[in-house]
């Protein structure tokens, strides 16, 4: 990281803290400014009252981690008490809650802080404890890739027959633990799900860099591992991704023919507005890519991350979901994603980035579409 | 209804509309003023983004029904499209959503309006359609009582063995359709659940008046019906109720010995502050009781609705859950409920009425407690 980056980051933190002082973190979350209340609520075990309470204790950016980690510790302590009493379902729910709170605590903790690292580590650990407690059929599942392993969870559909399977791909700052609720929505509809931290994502951050321009490689490894496991119907594997994941899945679908359908929600064609994103999110991408400065990250994205010539190669059905109020990607950019011969495009007029503010209609759209395409595959 | 009542009601509607004009319905919901955002979110299929959108279209009280019913109609139309396409799980979710929106639309529609009646009727119909769509084991279930039937739904626990069963009792303005989410939390923990409109509640409004001072009678009929059905373990039936239901369940537990455990959340000992409640809620109670004026309702409550001499008679374990920030019942009143020899008392320091703002800790408390007591019964 160079001096210029450090200066830009400090300036961003200061302006963010000023916004929080002026408007309160809760109001910012309601208005979807960096703090995205809809995302926090829809993807994990937090409801509005929780967010109101947690964000009400955040008068400035410095308080962010303290408030979230306090909620996380309380949830984890209660989870342990419940586990000790023999109430595993409740304990699982509370470990899940702790994981989510650690995740969001790390989300706006300073990028170079111990707290951020701590939050990430506890997020992983607590979700694993939740899975061990619950009675749902969710199993840790690793994908051998190069000389390492990509960690994930296999959510198994009901019944003994191997079911179609959806690989869920993280975004730039989302993680396999975050997608629990949506994974369960696929499972309700008869599909199994693999949530996974790919290179540069979640647990793989700092261990293997993300190569967006070759995302078919780790996804091919995931298909191999799923097929070898015998736990899913390997002829009916689809892929789903949100935000940066919405870019990655289209890249993978173009070059990994064993992926039979793809859903891209809130994705990007060429990240043309990348340098205007929140600096914290650009920092996440910098880390994902394993490069050393914001300018390198911007160059990398500009030079290597485009779906030009890619979407035309996709031969399986794919669905692009966009929200017209997305602050990171415009309608023209989103439409280019869907311009391949097998692409479909759905625009939510009132939709924000990744459509989390219309979850009740988003879920049927993406889950039923996937179920149908995998059934037809 | 006499002239004095009509005047009081108009005055209340005017002051409510002024509050909405000044603060917006969403802000009132956040602050838990008549509009209770936490309750709307926790009990049914509505998240904060939904409420933000729906309440954002409510600049005054007159717009209340229009905004909710519009959301309801959209959800119902989508549910029908999804059902037609062969996506029953999504269709069920959207019918459930329509039911909830009709419910909340009726909640603050004028008490004498066609819209209010319409909302109530559509709420019942749409929830029934949801149940028909879902794959969960939920069945319509009626309880013969006097010369009529109390309508309900039996949520069956997993497995073939008859499981312990929880009867869920509505409050003054809540209904069997509203408690779906909590019913499923009991089911996750191995219990079956009967949601039920008792006399004066939900569908029974106007058909049979509520007799709070003899609530053991309809509950005895429910136990009879459950036992005769052979679908549940009739030696392990518990009862749960929230708000006015929290009063009713203690009355029932005192005089119906086949109820083996009771949870009372946000209940009342003697409704000592009843006349200070929102007039709309007092109106609901007036209707529940089948009396003709607010003053009759107040007299009825004052003269006949007390647990004095009642809680001492309860011989099974019972749990009283209170929120210290409850605006309808004070801590001293709540503690009196728990003063019987088998009573336990849990106070949520930050809890609002019925604890919906702490759902993540409320659910483990009430569900695990019930599971344990019914297992020991």
**Cα gap A154→A313, rounded to integer Å:** 29
Q: Which of B95, B360, B374, B376 is the best substitution to test chain A (most A C-beta atoms within 10 A)?
A: B360
Element (H, E) at A141: strand A138-145
Q: Is the ipTM of this complex over 0.95?
A: yes
Residue of chain A whose alpha carbon sits nearest to that of B89: A189
> Which class is domain A1-135?
mainly alpha
For the beta carbon of residue A282, count every other beta carbon within 10 angstroms. 22
Q: Which of residues 196-255 of A touch B (CB under 8 A)?
A: none
Long-range contacts of A122-126 (CB under 8 A, 24+ apart): A122/A72, A122/A76, A122/A98, A123/A99, A123/A175, A123/A177, A124/A99, A124/A177, A124/A202, A124/A203, A125/A99, A126/A72, A126/A76, A126/A79, A126/A95, A126/A96, A126/A98, A126/A99, A126/A102
Task: Select the residue of A38, A94, A358 nearest B48 (Cβ to Cβ).
Answer: A38
Calculate how close chain A gets to B361, using CA atoms only, in Å: 8
Which residues of chain A register pLDDT less than 70? none
Q: Which fold has domain A137-377?
A: Rossmann fold (3.40.50)
Contact call for B359 and A47, based on CB within 8 A? yes
Domain-wise residue ranges, chain B:
1-135, 137-377
Residue of chain B whose alpha carbon sits nearest to that of A38: B49
What is the DSSP annotation of B260-324? EEEEEES--SS-TTGGGS-HHHHHHHHHHHT-SSHHHHHHHHHHH---TTTGGG--S-EEEEEET
What are the backbone angles phi and psi of residue B285, rounded to the nearest 5°?
-65, -40
pLDDT digits (tens, 9 = 90+) for B94-145: 999 999 999 999 999 999 899 999 999 999 999 999 999 999 999 999 999 9
Q: Which of B47, B84, B374 is the best substitution to test chain A (most A C-beta atoms within 10 A)?
A: B47
Contact call for B90 and A364, based on CB within 8 A? yes
- For the four alpha carbons of B37, B38, B44 and B45, in that order, the dihedral sign comes to positive
Calculate how close chain A gets to B334, using CA atoms only, in Å: 23
User: Is B297:B282 a contact under the CB 8 Å cutoff?
Assistant: yes
User: Is B324:B315 a contact under the CB 8 Å cutoff?
Assistant: no
Q: Is the pLDDT of residue B1 over 90?
A: no
For the beta carbon of residue B156, count every other beta carbon within 10 angstroms. 20
Predicted local confidence at residue B116, as pLDDT = 97
- A139–B contact, CB cutoff 8 A: no
Task: List CB contacts (< 8 A) between B346 and chain A.
Answer: none
Predicted local confidence at residue A1, as pLDDT = 82
Contact call for B360 and A52, based on CB within 8 A? no
Q: Which of A43, A47, A55, A73 is the best substitution to test chain B (most B C-beta atoms within 10 A)?
A: A47
Contact call for A41 and B48, based on CB within 8 A? yes
Task: Select the residue of B37, B49, B85 nearest A357 (Cβ to Cβ).
Answer: B49
Beta carbon pairs, A and B, within 8 Å: 96
Q: Which of residues 342-371 of B touch A (CB under 8 A)?
A: 350, 356-361, 363-364, 367-368, 371
Contact call for B89 and A356, based on CB within 8 A? no
- B51–A contact, CB cutoff 8 A: yes
Contact call for B38 and A51, based on CB within 8 A? no
């Amino acid at each position: 990281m160079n001096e210029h980056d450090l200066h830009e980051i400090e300036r961003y933190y200061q302006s963010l803290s000023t916004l929080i002082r002026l408007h309160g973190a809760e109001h910012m979350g309601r208005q979807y400014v960096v703090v995205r209340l809809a995302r926090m609520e829809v993807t994990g075990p937090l409801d509005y009252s929780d967010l109101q309470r947690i964000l009400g204790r955040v008068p400035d950016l410095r308080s962010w981690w303290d408030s979230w980690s306090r909620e996380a510790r309380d949830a984890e302590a209660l989870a342990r008490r419940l586990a000790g009493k023999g109430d595993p379902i409740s304990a699982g729910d509370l470990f899940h809650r702790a994981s989510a709170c650690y995740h969001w605590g790390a989300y706006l903790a300073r990028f170079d802080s111990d707290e951020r690292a701590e939050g990430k580590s506890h997020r992983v650990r607590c979700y694993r404890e939740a899975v061990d407690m619950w009675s749902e059929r969710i199993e840790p599942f690793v994908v051998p890739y190069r000389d390492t392993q990509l960690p994930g969870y296999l959510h198994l559909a009901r019944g003994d027959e191997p079911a179609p399977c959806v690989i869920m791909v993280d975004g730039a700052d989302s993680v396999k633990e975050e997608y629990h609720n949506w994974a369960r929505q696929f499972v309700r509809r008869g599909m199994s799900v693999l949530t996974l931290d790919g290179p540069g994502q979640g647990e793989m951050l700092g261990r293997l860099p993300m190569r967006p321009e070759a995302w078919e490689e780790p996804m091919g490894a995931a298909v191999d591992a799923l097929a070898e496991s015998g736990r899913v119907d390997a002829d009916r594997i689809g892929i789903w991704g949100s935000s940066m994941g919405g870019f990655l899945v289209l890249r993978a679908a173009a070059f990994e023919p064993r992926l039979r359908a793809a859903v891209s929600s809130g994705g990007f064609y060429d990240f043309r507005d990348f340098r205007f994103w929140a600096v914290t999110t650009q920092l996440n991408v910098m880390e994902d890519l394993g490069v050393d400065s914001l300018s390198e990250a911007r160059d990398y994205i500009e030079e290597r991350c485009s779906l030009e010539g890619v979407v035309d190669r996709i031969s399986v059905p794919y669905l692009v979901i966009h929200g017209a109020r997305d602050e990171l990607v415009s309608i023209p950019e989103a439409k280019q994603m869907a311009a391949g011969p097998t692409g479909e495009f759905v625009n939510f007029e009132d939709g924000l980035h990744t459509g989390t503010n219309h979850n009740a209609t988003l879920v049927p759209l993406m889950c039923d579409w996937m179920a149908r395409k995998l059934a037809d595959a």
